[in-house]
Amino acid sequence: MIEEAIVHVGMHKTGSSSIQDTFSKIEMEEVEYLSLGSANHSGFLATVLSENPQNYHNHIRNGRSLAQVQALKEAYTKRLHEELESVDKPRILISAEYLSRPDGGSGELEYLHSILSQYCRRIRVIGYVRPPIGYMQSAFQQTLKGGANLSFNLNSVYPNYYKRFAKMDVVFGKENVELVAFGKDALHKGDAVQDFALRIGAAVQPKQIIRANESLSLEATALLYTFRRFGSKPIGYEGFSRDNNLLIEILAGIGNQKLVFGEAVVMPVLENYRKDLDWMSERLGRSIIDQLGESPHTISSEENLINVAYNNRMSIWHLLDKNESPTHNAIGIARLVNWLHILNTHDIANYKEPHNTLFSKTQLEEIVSVKGDGQVLLSLLADALKKKAQNQAAKSVRKAAKKASFLLRES
């Protein structure tokens, strides 16, 4: 029987991706990182544990049918048991921020507890707790990145600590749930990965740590907010994740300022959740409230964000090789949203590569070398059109090439 199951529950925005990417790849002497298809076990466990897995956001966004999701649930459940049965180390590690989401009930945790108890003598839960202001700034970005149409209401991204963690104390026993303040002064060497390694007794060299910086700049966040708020295409189709990841990847290269919310918008939220903050502080044995960040461009309203997006419109224009500049009004914002739509469905960088243009690299070199030979140029164009399945256009161009050849001979 497995001696101990270590369950890392996040929370979100506490270095979880780095923990997952690092520990899933290194060889640990006494701990086996369960192989469940992805370093982040959230989607896997959401499918296995939920009574209605079809409601999991990733299944909805990718347009999976009820039958498809149920088939996944059966396959994933079988795989989980097979993985647990095949473990040959004294301890296992599972990592899923999904388990600490505030809108989840205790039923899923109880189900997980019942499964693990069949194979493990002990279950140990470790969770990192991010202070509210820093969390809201990161969660606001993450929610936008995930595809949500988010209004500027910070109450919607407040962490709700009691709803996240109180149920864990009940299901697993408070003595088995370690909650750790996420801050440099509270973490071993000021680092979540090294702190986690120390807690589970794993040896990790600094060069083995995989850093996952998922944050967006203020400028990119503002552009994405404008897109989600006013023009995002519907979710729920096959390929959504591909398109969405492409858009995020492109926007990630824009801007360098940090998103910082202003006091006017943050303090009312903290006051609304005073009891929750007091509970979390008492549970940790230290205050959970962090300080406001400093920035020359703090964000306190939707208008602030939209203004930042408009002021960075040329970043989008540059990506699309456009030179028009819209006016600062509703029409201008609509044009900006339209260009963001284009970015959401096309990899602009790829289209700049020769192999993704109408002509191949070899053809482009030949075009440069022929120096104006009309017949050769037309033949190359015909070949390129045929390769792109433009058969009718290719035939027309070939006729033109033959005519050009005849005229040249006659002359």
**With 0-12 CB in 10 A as exposed, 13-18 as middle and 19+ as buried, what is 336?**
buried
Q: Are residues 361 and 301 in the same domain?
A: no
User: What whole-number percentage of the chain has pLDDT above 70?
Assistant: 75
Do 243 and 335 contact (CB within 8 A), yes or no?
Answer: no
pLDDT the model gives residue 351: 35
79 CA to centre of own chain: 25
DSSP conformation class of 201: T
Residue stretches of the chain with pLDDT short of 50: 322-324, 346-358, 372, 407-408, 411
* Count of structural domains within the chain: 3
Q: CB within 8 A of 268, min separation 6: which ones?
A: none
Q: How many CB atoms lie within 10 A of CB 40?
A: 20
CA-nearest of 222, 197, 218, 225 to 260 is 218
Do 161 and 43 contact (CB within 8 A), yes or no?
Answer: no
* Residue 139, in any domain of the structure: no
Q: CB within 8 A of 364, min separation 6: which ones?
A: 354, 357
Q: Are residues 226 and 372 in the same domain?
A: no
Q: Are residues 302 and 376 in the same domain?
A: no
pLDDT the model gives residue 353: 40
Q: Are residues 9 and 118 in the same domain?
A: yes
Whole-number CA gyration radius for the chain: 27
Q: Are residues 230 and 314 in the same domain?
A: yes
389 CA to centre of own chain: 35
Q: Are residues 249 and 332 in the same domain?
A: yes
Which amino acid belongs to residue 314? M
DSSP conformation class of 91: E
* Residue 147, in any domain of the structure: no
pTM here is 0.76
Q: Are residues 296 and 171 in the same domain?
A: no
Q: Are residues 301 and 336 in the same domain?
A: yes
**Domain assignment of residue 182, given as a range:** 2-133+154-208
Please give the backbone phi and psi of residue 32, each rounded to the nearest 5 degrees, phi first: -110, 120
Q: Are residues 338 and 359 in the same domain?
A: no
